[in-house]
């Protein structure tokens, strides 16, 4: 039997959370809902810190995603010639040639740095799947 302050702590825990279940016992849909809610609240917390002029605390995966979205998410779109972009992607995509043409130098450097791993090659295929269905304007340019 607990004595003194420990007895009171245990009694308070039982009163505060009588119906809570551990996260392992939750269904997958309830876990997903809980994680989505946690991510939303974390983003709101970080935005409130920034609006107050403070450094937003970032931690874990969501903090990193938030930082990257704030830094690179609102980049200006560049108009590129669709035919040139496709040809560059096919012939120099493995080393980021189409990304240099698009003026996305950091991503192009990533392609160039990891060309030997075949990761850029798979990314080129995804880039082509994004670009091919886009409609070019009268000059043949598309916004990327």
106-139 residue pLDDT tens? 889 999 999 999 999 999 999 999 999 999 999 9
34 and 53 inside one domain: yes
**pLDDT for the residue 38:** 80
pLDDT at 59 over 60: yes
Beta bridge partners of 79: 143
Find the domain containing 10 and state its range.
4-72
Lowest mean pLDDT among 14-18, 65-69, 79-83: 14-18
> Could you give the 3-state DSSP secondary structure of residue 141?
strand
**pLDDT for the residue 32:** 74
99 and 139 inside one domain: yes
Q: Which residue has the higher pLDDT, 79 or 41?
A: 79
Mean pLDDT, all residues of the chain:
81
The alpha helices in 17-115, defined as continuous H runs, are 28-51, 60-72, 82-92, 97-101, 105-113
**pLDDT for the residue 47:** 82
69: its two tokens: 């979205």
> Could you give the 3-state DSSP secondary structure of residue 142?
strand
Q: Of the residues 72, 99, 129, which one is the last residue of a structural domain? A: 72
103: its two tokens: 């003026």
| CB-CB contact of 30 with 23 (8 Å) | no
pLDDT at 67 over 60: yes
- Model confidence, pTM: 0.55
DSSP state letter for 79: E
Q: Of the residues 31, 56, 72, which one is the last residue of a structural domain? A: 72
26 and 49 inside one domain: yes
Q: Of the residues 46, 72, 98, which one is the last residue of a structural domain? A: 72
The residue with tokens 């989505």 is: 36
pLDDT at 80 over 90: yes
**pLDDT for the residue 132:** 95
């Amino acid at each position: 039997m607990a004595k003194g302050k420990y007895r009171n702590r245990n009694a308070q825990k039982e009163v505060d959370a009588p119906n809570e279940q551990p996260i392992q016992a939750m269904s997958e849909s309830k876990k997903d809902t809980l994680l989505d809610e946690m991510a939303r609240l974390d983003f709101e917390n970080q935005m409130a810190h920034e609006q107050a002029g403070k450094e937003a605390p970032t931690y874990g995966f969501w903090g990193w995603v938030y930082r990257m979205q704030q830094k690179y998410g609102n980049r200006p779109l560049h108009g590129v010639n669709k035919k040139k972009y496709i040809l560059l992607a096919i012939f120099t995509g493995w080393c980021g040639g189409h990304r240099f043409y698009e003026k996305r130098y950091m991503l192009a450097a990533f392609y160039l740095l990891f060309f030997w791993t075949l990761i850029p090659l798979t990314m080129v295929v995804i880039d082509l799947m994004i670009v091919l269905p886009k409609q070019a304007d009268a000059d043949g340019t598309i916004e990327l």
